[in-house]
Amino acid sequence: MENWNTTSDFILLGLLNHTGAHQFLFVLVLITAFTSLVGNALMCLLILLDSGLHKPMYFLLSQLSLMDMILVITIVPKMAADYLTGRTFISPVDCGFQIFFFLTLEGGECFLLAAMSYDRYVAICHPLRYPVLMSWQLCLRMTLGSWFLGAADGLMQAAATLNFSFCSVREIDHFFCEAPSLVRLACADTSVFEYAMYVCCVLMLLVPISLILISYSLILAAVLQMCSNEARKKAFATCSSHISVVGLFFGAAIFTYMRPKSYRSANHDKVVSAFYTIFTPVLNPLIYSLRNSEVKGALRKCMDQCAALSHD
């Protein structure tokens, strides 16, 4: 098979075709993406403007919303333009940027969720020492560390993937550039890189999951020792939103990246990728706004202020 140079474009086969059912799904994807952008932007704005939410927990939540917004912007506009215009080409440079941003955001979100679980552990198990154990300085360090680790993973995988020689078959069976889908097109032996990529993905998932499990094991032990049922309910309510988000995110990620290769198929990968790149980002602000009393209170206060201004 004849190699082609790095200026040649890839072809994204996409997620949807032009049947009536898929056109309906396309509209649903656009509505979901728009709702996700509005919901996460509103969450960031609410945390910025309401002084009652100026706490490390909500700063971490604002970073989660920011990551979700950038993820949607990275994937959906290109997918929508390809579907509407039929021009499904993507340059190697754009493909590299998609791989980099996707892995930066997904990897960063793994560690950010671990940081949020530590915050909940300190808030429930050591409430009197919270300002010391969860200082703003530590919060900023954990946030920057999450972004840095995600970016390091994204940069390494994007650079390594695009360094391969690719064959004349340039069709990526996906709706965006993802490293495993692109590696399948390489002419060279990629077994070592695929193994390294698998180990990297496992570590990026298992290290944060281990930290989250340790945090929630300690939280559970502390909650069971509480004498008051009211205190137990409050503790569980504080953690329920984060547990829901962790379950959605890591469930989809483990299904995608930790399955044996023999059990993987392009169609399954595309469906699961659509779930955690398009639908999960819209669920995060809904979960936190519906199940967090402080966020609901800040939202009501903001709406009351807007209504008062409109009446003036």
- Is 310 inside a domain boundary? no
Query: Does residue 311 lie in a domain region?
Result: no
Domain annotation covers residue 168: yes
Q: Are 61 and 274 in contact (CB under 8 A)?
A: no
Total count of domains within the chain: 1
Residue 265 within any structural domain of the chain: yes
- What pLDDT score was predicted for residue 6? 44
Phi-psi label, residue 143: left if phi above 0, alpha if psi -120 to 50, beta otherwise: alpha
Torsion sign, CA atoms 206, 212, 216, 217: positive
Domain containing residue 75: 10-305
Non-local CB neighbours of 172 within 8 Å, separated by 6+ positions? 10, 11, 12, 13, 90, 181, 182, 185
Identify each DSSP E strand in 137-280 by its residue range: 171-172
Rounded to whole angstroms, the Cα distance separating 235 from 125 reads 10
Let me know if residue 312 belongs to a domain.
no
For 213-231, the pLDDT digits (tens) are 999 999 988 888 887 787 7
Q: What is the DSSP letter of 134?
A: T
pLDDT at 61: 92
* 273-297: pLDDT as tens digits: 888 888 889 888 888 776 777 888 8
Residue 90's domain is classified under what CATH number? 1.20.1070.10
Flag residues of the chain having pLDDT under 70.
Answer: 1-7, 258-266, 290, 311-312
Residue 5 in domain = no
Residue 253 resides in a domain: yes
Backbone angles phi, psi at 185, to 5 degrees: -90, -5
pTM of the full structure: 0.89
Residue 4 lies inside a defined structural domain of this protein: no
